Structure 1
Amino acid sequence: MTSRGAFPGLLGRRNECLLLDDLLAGARSGRSGVLVLRGEAGIGKTELLNYVVERATGCRVVRAAGVQSEMELSHAGLHQLCAPLLSGIDDLPEPQRDALCTAFGLRGGTAPDRFLVGLATLSLLADAGGNQPLVCLIDDAQWLDRASAQSLEFVARRLLAESVVLVFAVRTPSVREPTVGESITGLPELPVTGLTESDSRKLLDSVVTGPLDHRVRSRIIAETRGNPLALLELPRGLAPVDLADGFARPDVRPLSSQIEQGFLRRVQSLRAETQRLLFTAAAEPVGDVTLLRRAAERLGIAVDTAVEHAEASGLITFGTWVRFRHPLVRSAAYGAAGLDGRREVHRALADATDARLDPDRRAWHLACATAGPDETVAAELERSAGRAQARGGIAAAAAFLDRAAELTPDPARRGARALAAAQAKYRAGAFDAARGLADVAELGSLDALGSAQAKLLRAQIMSASKSASAGLPLLLDAAKRLEPLDAGLARETYRDAIYAALTAGRLPKGGVLEVAKAVLSAPRPTEPRRDDLLLEGIARLTTEGYAVGTPMLLEALAAFRTEEVPGEEGLGWLPLACRLAHSTWDFESWSVLSAGLVDLARGTGALTVLPSALLLRLSNRVFAGHLADADSLVVEATAIGEATGSRFFAHYGALVVEPWKGREPETRQAIEAITQDLLLRGEGKVVTATQWAAAVLYNGLGRYEEAYEAAKRGCENPQELGLYLQSMVEFVEASARLGRPGDAAETVRTIHDMAQASGTDWALGTSARTRALVSDGEAADALYREAIERLGATEVRTELARVQLLYGEWLRRENRRADARAHLAVAHEMLRQIGAEAFAERARRELQATGAKVRKRAAATHEALTPQEAQIARLAGEGLTNSEIGAQLFISPHTVEWHLRKVFSKLGISSRKEIRTMRLEGEATSA
């Protein structure tokens, strides 16, 4: 154990020190470790970090500290931590390298997604830990800027097989500080609590050398509640006579306030020139000694003398960096400066800061030095906001724009800047602040376009913070306002309104019908583009019928499929196009566009779009009969969900895939999770999707009454399209199997009419299938054969396999056993290969009923892979490198290698090449 003299605050911290020693030992043996030290101010968190530094022999240590005044500067804390490691940035995969360089302002580029910055940080730290165990210490993490906190939380959740330790020290909020400590959540925590009474007495006695009245000792120990810093500092505020006789008046203020007041008294006891140096150091968050000296000289301070007196006080040290003894010293010094004094030192710091190398920090100092409206400073803040946003620092951009609006003298320009700040706050997820700034903007002199954009912003906030159904009326109103002002933005807003309406589904007022009418009432372009055709097509389908809108939609989808779609346009329009391709039975467009959307989202780092893209793609792969590929996409969507703190993507992926496997517990769990999701509760699509899933499950299991009831509920809202269409198909099968074909007669006619309008083989084959189920004799036989022929011409293998099963079942009931065996054998093999185990079991039972002997599948002799291992194995088999696999699954290459070693062991192989020769379908099991 380390010496108590070096770390007096570690007295009584044996268990905490042992835990930290275990983390260091793990890093030395190739394991990662994450720990959050959480406690009140002065409780000893920093002392524990210092203990880690002393014990980290053989490790590389990097440190960072959050600073309250730095919270508005994007990636400041992350840059501070990673600065010693940036020599390895060129070894990162290109998208990650570009993201991190852009975030740190090392080069220009498009604003990187925050999760791509997180992935780049993970790779940088993992690579650094590959040569020597890496220990990352972050003090006062509650004061990290938001972008840094998000990136480091991402890294902490994704560490697994790297020699990297991440230790955060987070201050527990007091009653007066409700926002402090809200970041860095959901990670392993160690509460750092007060010392025992015995240890408190020992620590107090170590710093009080004169007489100490026993009543004073008892009161200090009781009031400090075992807080080491308080035990060390509070006696300094008492005169020797107070310590000796016990008549000092008790202080009723919070403990952190008492400690800070003690530091304040010590600051105020210093010479005026030394105080001004401390004021300046408190306002300069980086700890840059050179910058501090330049600013101090501008203030007329005799720097060397002031530094000598400041260090003699024990409140601050000047080395390579300026370091206060404790953050409470910094806040005490900053508060002691007074308003005029703070403006003076910020002005000096702005003058001392290189406008070319660090323009944003200079602008922030200028803003802090400015008392009233100042267009020059406001314009500089606006430029800083643009640079921050280009680096992916949306929260920082919002802060710059907010302050710029405050300092803007012209009312019209103030309103525009407030609106820009509100939009940035919205993108940063600060919805309440965005609403408030939107109010400020609308009180200003916004022009008509600005007013419409403010309405759009309110709609977007409502959709994001409440639900699609809540935001839909506001989106529609904003789109109408934008029509005469910005046709492109109006079109995009109508697109978002349509998407919201298709999601919200069952609305009391109009829903998608109301949006469709508004789209058709808008001026029609002279030369409609593909996005115009897409909007008009869905609008006409909704208002005038499927037969009217579908041809226009198919034309638009063909254009999207065959022509290049630029990045931003693709990210905006392809999600809707994919949904409408499904709804028009255009499987080719659905396949091409969903694959393109996933590639586009991955390639551009648009990780906010990627989860939805993956869900659209995995649904397509399920119908294509590639459940193994769909499983892989579920794993990827789950990885994103874990990284972003959302489980919805994993649940929805399971909802689509698990029913086909006949796994009732997993399907029911997904249904329950989505049904109870607070953000989705009441949305119509939830009902349709969950009931479709249940219908597929129960049809596969042969529990037709349950399938009938579920499919019937899934068919309740035709305007949702998509899975509503598939629910109709499940309803017809369940009705026919229950001997109630009359119940499905109207549904069969609806499907037939849709198929005629679509004209695709998928649609016509599905129509033939459903008509065959309610037909008899030669008519049924001919329809089954037509369905097999048409679906055989498509990639919709799951549906083809099910038609083979249905035809085989019908043939057996017709006593045509030989013919039945042929089709049932095909169905059984196809369904088994697909992984649709429940339907395959249906085929097996039917085969046995015809007298056929069904060979059981040989049991695998190797240990089953987890879903993530199976996904990594597949990607490795496709030739992807560890870095490419890690980028796709949001893990480091070291973790990929760790998983591959387990894959090799389980499969009994020794190289990546051997994976390509193995069948991985069906190998994935629950983790």
Structure 2
Amino acid sequence: MIKEEARQPAATGRPDIARFGNRVPEQAVVNDLVETVRAGGNRSLAVRGERGMGKTTLLEYAAEQAAGCRVLRVTGHQYEARLAFAGLHQLCAPLLPFADALTVPQREALHLAFGLSAGPEPDRFHIGLAVLALLAKATAERPLLCVVDDHQWLDRASARVLGFVARRLGEIPVGLVFGTRADHDELTGLDDLRLTGLPDPDARALLAATMPGPLDERVRDHIIAETGGNPAELLGITRGLSPVDLAGGFGLPGALAPELHDPRVDDLTADARTLLTLAAADPTGETSLVLRAAMRSGLPLHTAPRAVEKAGLAVFADRIRFCDPRLRSSVYHAATDQDRRAAHRALADAVIDADWRAWHRALSVVEPDEEAASDLVRAAEQARSRGGPAAASAFFGRAAALTADPERRVAWLLSAAEHGLRCGAFDSVRDHSHLVLAGPLAEPHAARLEQVRGRAAFLTGQGGAAPGLLLSAAERLAPHDRERARDGYLIAWTAALYVGALTDGPGLKEISAAARTLPAASRPALPDRLLDALAALVLDGSRSALPRLREVTDAFTATAAGTSDELRWGWPVQAAAGALWDPRGWLGMLTRQAGLARANGDVHQLPIVLAELGTLRAWMGEVAAAERLAVESETATAATEMRLAPYARIAMAGLRGDPALARPHFRIGAYLGRSHGQEVAMTAVNWAAAVLRNGLGDHDRALPHALDAAETSPALFLSLWALPEAVEAAVRSGRPDVARKALDRLVDAAGPAGTDHADGLIARCRALVSEGTTTEGCHHEAIARLERAGLRPDHARARLLYGEWLHAAGRPAEARTELHAAHDALADLGMDAFAERARRELSACGGRARRRPEDATLTDQEAQVARLALDGHTNAEIGAQMFISARTVEWHLRKIFTKLNISSRKELKGVLSVPASHGVGAKGRDET
């Protein structure tokens, strides 16, 4: 396979943990090589490591970083290992047009090697010289990076020639990066980068980034120890398994499919095989536990462990470690059902921990066992604190299978389904729901089942049916269980907010009205007051509801941090916070909510909370943070069957102002909105499209998008954000009547909040529709209030509008001041369409925007160099920390000075603010 690529600059941002395992030092070495080549030098690097350590990923990263370089790839294949010069042909085939410039001996040797002419065996020295000459010709236009993966499978002729070339690059701007599992003489003398297992913190981060929910701490530590931190093996442990399959670690290794059969197991004695089965059945790897269980089973402890170790299958040390992690599941599945049950019975008798004893005992029986079932239920909540809701779901599900009591069975199956919802295990929810239907169903249980089905419908993209199911469940629960009924109204209200007019049944008004029929609690709890405030927002309007909303959000902020209540009511409480026009307070609540959902394994909440948080971050101008949250939300969504529009990406696309880049995100959002009953997704698209079109100055096309967005879910979320867009678009389109109506709605909805953000937006809109002496005062108020609110995009747009007004009023000098500030701020925020609008207006009034080259944003490595330089480190100290040479540090600093238009380190402090995250540009700009 022949590949040649002209690389574009790679996106900057936080390293992709799920891809790299946080190999920052190794990435720094690769970055140094690429920068050296780009600067006109050359380097060769051998990346060595066992299977699965990430060599290929690191080589791909090298290619991605090679902006402005020509990239050639070679991949060794076992089936080509005996074909002389097969690997070299991969490298040189794209360069053969340069062969005419070679000397005759070199050209003839190359043609003979590639079968382009007949003759005796070619001289390998001439072939090496020919390849060097081809590489030199290829670098005439731009530097060259050659990426050679699976070097161990290259034919030896190619490997020798490439080794010869790598040591004789001279002045050619070429980088050679080899990925190999073994030490080879051909690579002797090259720079060496050896990949070993990830350190424990990075291995934990990799597991956390790829698993939908927490693991029992002992299981997690054992997985890391047994895999030796090998990234591929860590990722392979849980691939394709649902959270309930894993059960927070309790379900391992039974959930894992066997991947190999080792004949050495068959050669063991019966006692040694029994011991190995005991070790496989215990996911914690605790040697003392397994040996206690073995002793209770009558196994000879002086011979059985020694036999297993002598066979090279496992090691009995502080922890029991299988020599190949894949062997654990194979041993477990190869045992008979009877042997597995016996192993779990012995472990249950030997283990001290009550949760593990209940779990092992449950797996040791087949017939109904009421005592085992009751033990599981008692352990479920404690297990949940360690393994998340997935563990609780598994415990309740297994308990239901072990009881002969129909009433208990239904109740426990419903609990299993409800916990399954929380961890996003929708297959398990469906299975448990079907089993519930098979038993006798009392009215409270039937209502709970309807609630489960309604929540599952909402989360899996069947939104149209969800509000009706959830409202029906709440009304059926009211006579039997007021607290569950109240919970049901809150969930129904949230679903109706997302579904909007696409509901098949009741909407927000009907659900809010129905919620008011619930009998009042003698001592209303926070959720009761929340439901009352949200109903008031819909039925009575903002002015009546805002005091109650503020009281509820303040109470949650003050008392519910870290509690189960905050997790249960995270979604509806965000609606209350959003209606208060206090972005900073809302941001704090969402941030805390996301942290709680991550820590507790509430996968069903996490994607939505992250999407809301990413959208809010984008709206606040924090682009890099929004990008990271978008990636995390997509990863969390992919771990479940949830169907969620890319809200953060939609928001970023609208603010950026590039129709071509925005179009795919808008289409996905609109499709998911229509097909899965999420009107809020269509509202997001219309709002973002209005922002985009206003930025481009295409106000006629912005107006219908803004009005469509403002008409959905009136007085809530994005519909309110669309009102300022409607005012601006209507004024610029010559529709003052439409602008005034939109302003009136904004005043009614946001005015009672009394925050700088709400009043600042109102003032900005009033400046657009007003005439005479009041206009300038409105502009001044808008700029001052929005600056205090900390909403950088809205503040920059206020200055742009003021600058445009000043120019129209015949005050060009004052206009230039505002337009310069607006242009620089908008460009820093990545709001390119608005920045271009400011540039055009500035030019029209006799000014000129400061030149901002396309590469003014610092790369990850440049940002890190700049931060360390700001801290006063010398070039040598910076190089030592970043695993690069002092010469490369100096080269980076020259590029940084050029980009920022400065000449020394002393000037860095005045023009650059470098946060801890990567990807930083002038004036503190965060880049994705």
- Same-fold call, TM cutoff 0.5: yes
Asked if structure 1 preserves the Cα contact closer than 8 Å seen for 2:341 and 2:363, the reply is yes
Contact 2:293 2:350 in 1 (8 A): no
Matched, 1:602 2:602: no
Contact 2:779/2:802 (CA < 8 Å) preserved in 1? Answer: yes
Instruction: Indicate yes or no: 2:780 matched with 1:754.
Output: no
Counterpart position of 1:567: 563
Cα distance in 2, alignment partners of residues 724 and 505 from structure 1: 11
User: Are 1:918 and 2:912 counterparts?
Assistant: yes
CA contact (8 A) 1:787 1:803 kept: yes
Change in 2 beyond 3 A, CA 1:711/1:661 = same
> Which range is displaced more, 678-687 or 412-421?
678-687
State the match for 2:214 in structure 1.
114
Counterpart Cα distance in 2 of 1:621 and 1:328: 43
- Distance in 2 between residues matched to 1:736 and 1:764, nearest whole Å: 19
Q: Which residue of 1 aligns with 2:686?
A: 691
Please say if 1:475 is aligned against 2:470. Answer: yes
- Looking at structure 2, the residues matched to 862 and 811 of structure 1 have their Cα atoms a distance apart, in angstroms, of 30
Code of the residue aligned with 1:767 in structure 2: it is I
Aligned position for 1:592: 585
Question: What is the aligned partner in structure 2 of residue 65 from structure 1?
Answer: none
Question: Could you tell me which residue of structure 1 aligns to residue 624 of structure 2?
Answer: 631
Is 1:520 equivalent to 2:546 in the alignment?
no
Alpha-carbon distance in structure 1 between the residues aligned to 2:508 and 2:537: 11
Alignment of 1:542 with 2:568, yes or no, is no
Q: 1:710 to 1:114 in 2, by over 3 A?
A: same
Name the counterpart of 1:454: 449
Instruction: Write the distance in 1 (CA, Å) between the matches of 2:740 and 2:381.
Output: 61
Q: Distance in 2 between matches of 1:692 and 1:483?
A: 38
Counterpart of 2:850, as a letter, is: K
**1:849 lines up with 2:844 in the alignment:** yes
2:50 match: secondary structure? helix
**Equivalences for residues 183-198 of structure 1 within 5 A:** none
* Paired AA for residue 214 in structure 2: R
Partner of 1:583: 579
Matched residue, 2:737: 742
Structure 2 segments unaligned to the other structure (5+ residues): 1-45, 61-152, 154-179, 185-191, 873-880, 897-903, 915-919
Q: How does 1:811-850 map to 2 (within 5 A)?
A: 811-818=806-813, 820-850=815-845
Q: Which residue of 2 aligns with 1:501?
A: 496
Q: 1:485 to 1:139 in 2, by over 3 A?
A: closer
- Residue among 421, 425, 448 paired with 2:416: 421
Q: Is the 8 A contact 2:666 2:685 kept in 1?
A: yes
1:730-753 Cα distance to aligned partner (Å, 9 max, x none): 122112112232343432332233
In the alignment, what sits opposite 2:371?
Answer: 376
Asked whether the 8 Å contact 2:807–2:845 carries over to 1, the reply is yes
Could you say which residue in structure 1 is the equivalent of 2:668? Answer: 673
2:624–2:926 CA contact under 8 A, matched in 1: no
Measured in 2, the distance between the counterparts of 1:280 and 1:438 equals: 39
1:514 Cα deviation (Å)?
Answer: 1.9
Q: Structure 2 CA distance, aligned partners of 1:572 and 1:310? A: 49
Residue type of the alignment partner of 1:539: A
Q: How does 1:240-259 map to 2 (within 5 A)?
A: none
Report if aligned partners of 2:783, 2:795 keep a CA contact under 8 Å in 1.
yes
| Change beyond 3 A, Cα 1:359–1:578 | closer
Deviations 1:655-680 (A, max 9, x none): 22333233333322322333344897
Cα distance in 2 between the residues matched to 1:751 and 1:411 = 56
Closer, same or farther: CA 25–845 of 1 in aligned 2, 3 Å: same
Which runs of 5 or more residues in structure 1 are unaligned? 1-19, 35-47, 63-81, 101-110, 154-170, 172-176, 184-191, 193-227, 234-259, 268-273, 880-895
- Kindly indicate whether the alpha-carbon contact (under 8 Å) linking 2:570 and 2:593 is maintained by their aligned counterparts in 1: no
State whether residues 691 and 714 of structure 1, in contact with CA within 8 Å, keep that contact through their aligned partners in structure 2.
yes
Letter in 2 for 1:815: G
Number of the residue aligned with 2:37:
none
1:634/1:27 CA distance change after superposition, 3 Å: closer
1:542 is displaced (CA, Å) by 1.7
Letter of the 1:708 counterpart: L
Q: Which string of whole-angstrom CA distances, capped at 9 and with x for unpartnered residues, describes residues 762-809 of structure 1?
A: 434433433443344445455545545654654344334323332332
Q: Distance in 1 between matches of 2:630 and 2:865?
A: 14
Letter in 1 for 2:474: A
* Residues 302/922 of structure 1: CA separation in 2 closer, same or farther (3 Å cut): closer
2:129 matched to which residue of 1?
Answer: none
Alpha carbon RMSD of aligned pairs, Å? 6.0
Report the counterpart of residue 662 of structure 1 in structure 2.
657
Once the two structures are TM-superposed, the CA of residue 722 in structure 1 deviates from its matched residue by: 1.5
Q: Could you give the per-residue CA deviations for residues 854-890 of structure 1, whole angstroms, max 9, x where no partner exists?
A: 2423548877326x996999999999xxxxxxxxxxx
Secondary structure of 2:494's match? helix
Cα offset, 1:557, TM superposition: 4.0
Asked if 2 retains the 8 angstrom alpha-carbon contact of 1:583 and 1:725, the reply is no
Cα distance in structure 2, aligned partners of 1:438 and 1:736: 55
Q: What secondary structure, in the 3-state scheme, does the structure 2 residue paired with 1:510 have?
A: coil
The answer as to 2:866 corresponding to 1:766 is no
Do the aligned residues in 2 keep the contact of 1:664 with 1:697 (CA within 8 Å)? Answer: yes
Q: In the TM superposition, what are the counterparts of 1:382-401 in structure 2 within 5 Å? A: 382-383=377-378, 385-392=380-387, 394-401=389-396
Q: SS at the partner of 1:391?
A: helix
Query: Which residue type is aligned with residue 510 of structure 1?
Result: P
CA contact (8 A) 2:463 2:677 kept: no
Q: Corresponding residue for 1:24?
A: 50
Cα offset, 1:591, TM superposition:
0.9
SS in 2 for 1:114: coil
Q: Which moved more, 1:799-808 or 1:283-292?
A: 283-292
CA offset at residue 848 of structure 1?
2.6
CA distance in 2, matches of 1:583, 1:812: 36
The question of whether the paired residues in 2 share the 8 Å contact of 1:878 and 1:916 is answered with no
User: Are the counterparts in 1 of residues 447 and 476 from structure 2 also a CA contact under 8 Å?
Assistant: yes
Cα pair distance change 1:613/1:918, threshold 3 Å: farther
Rounded Cα–Cα distance in structure 1 between residues aligned with 2:579 and 2:333: 64
Is the CA contact 1:367–1:377 (under 8 Å) kept in the aligned structure 2?
Answer: yes
The percent of aligned pairs where both chains have the same amino acid is 29
Query: How far 1:684 moved relative to its partner?
Result: 0.5
Q: Tell me how far apart the structure 2 counterparts of residues 377 and 126 of structure 1 sit (CA, whole Å).
A: 31
Aligned-partner SS, 1:506: helix
Displacement, 1:697? 0.9
Counterpart-to-counterpart distance in 1, 2:629 and 2:884? 15
8 Å Cα contact 2:499-2:679 kept in structure 1: yes
Per the alignment, in what secondary structure is the counterpart of residue 854 of structure 1?
coil
Cα separation, 2, equivalents of 1:515 and 1:727:
25
Structure 1 residues 900, 766: closer, same or farther in 2, change over 3 A? farther
Q: 2:27 corresponds to which residue? A: none
AA in 2 matched with 1:595 = G
Closer/same/farther in 2, CA of residues 26 and 601 from structure 1, 3 Å limit: closer
- Sort the Cα spacing of 1:506 and 1:349 in 2 relative to 1 into closer, same or farther, 3 A: closer
Q: Which amino acid aligns with 1:744?
A: A
Tell me the TM-score normalised to structure 2 length.
0.62
What secondary structure does 2:396 align onto?
A: helix
1:698–1:704 Cα contact (<8 Å) kept: yes
Distance 1:724 1:899 in 2: 51
Cα deviation, residue 594, structure 1: 1.6
Further displaced range: 692-701 or 322-331: 322-331
**Residue 504 of structure 1, CA deviation:** 1.4
Using the TM superposition, give the Cα deviation of residue 724 of structure 1 relative to its aligned residue in structure 2, in angstroms.
1.0
The CA distance in 2 between the partners of 1:348 and 1:118, in whole Å, is 19
The change in CA–CA distance for 1:462 and 1:58 in structure 2 (over 3 A counts) is: same
Q: Is contact 2:52-2:231 (8 Å) kept? A: no
Match of residue 407 from structure 2: 412
- Cα 1:783–1:142 change in 2 (3 A) is closer
My pick for the range that moved more, 369-378 or 20-29, is: 20-29
